[in-house]
Copies of this chain bind each other. A is one copy, B any other.
């Protein structure tokens, strides 16, 4: 199961880190951008060329240090068809390098529509006698606002194609509480979602003891991380919000179980653009920042008494 593969890589690489591939054209290394514009002009194709080359460089720099990457599809979608082609190529390249790819797509819709999203990102579509893998990821993030009709469709690919989900429970952004924190008679709204995650997750548990149905819980809400950790013991947490959004190593300790496992922490800007203002190459800087983050998380887990490796 994909959750076992993720846990295995976390242990082997001693690193519960996901590098978020959120390409921002305005932050690209100048030489890379100029070369892409030279080749393709100042066009969507030029933007996509730069992004893909940058991503390959990042993947090469961190592939031995982290178990997974998480391309955020919005940053590709904004460059239209060429951008989405770069997204697709990025997913392929990362998987070729042995990395687990988490498609940060936050899709979610009524049943038949969710099915189409699930096939698009985790499954295969039939065209006549042939089958194709349109976008090829290992995990997808899913928005729960439409309820289990949506999750049910994604579960087909989880079960039959060895894929995984991270369902949004408590997101990292400042206004996440507006809906997610509303008190109901049975806990906050996000606790209702946590129960959904638990219910789906318990249907399928890997050898590692974890489920391929995980949860997104933001690093920026440390207290909620602890509560939710107890509510979903077998869910792997995808923890965004570390670094640029304000989450620190000590904030995310609550995302881990006592065995030091059960969470992967995302860092996008803090790693991708670590070179800015340093004079270092972007690959070297990304590598250094990844190692720093690994060390910081390791230390925070040791300090908290949670077993680590």
Contacts and interface: CB of A to CB of B under 8 A. Distances in A.
Contacts of A80: 88, 120, 132, 134-135
A177 interface: yes
Size band of the A side of the interface? Answer: 35 or more
A63 B134 CA distance: 31
B44 A127 contact: yes
Interface stretch (A102-110, A207-215, A297-305): A102-110
A80 B134 CA distance: 4
A84 interface: yes
A282 to B, nearest CB: 19
Interface in A168-199: 168, 171-180, 182-185, 189, 192-193, 196
A224 interface: no
A42 B185 contact: no
Contacts of A79: 120, 125, 127, 132, 134
A136 to B, nearest CB: 10
Interface in A153-173: 168, 171-173
B179 A113 contact: no
Contact of A182 (B109, B174, B189): B189
Oligomeric state, in copies:
2
Contact of A116 (B75, B107, B143): B75
A108 B84 CA distance: 18
A81 to B, nearest CB: 6
A168 to B, nearest CB: 6
Contacts of A189: 179, 182, 184, 189
Given A46-B128, A143-B108, A134 B171 contact: no
Interface of A: 22, 25, 37, 42-44, 46-47, 72, 74-75, 77-81, 83-85, 88, 106-111, 113-114, 116-117, 119-121, 125-130, 132, 134-135, 143-150, 168, 171-180, 182-185, 189, 192-193, 196, 240, 245
Given A42-B129, A149-B174, A179-B189, 4 more contacts: A22-B113, A108-B143, A110-B245, A183-B184
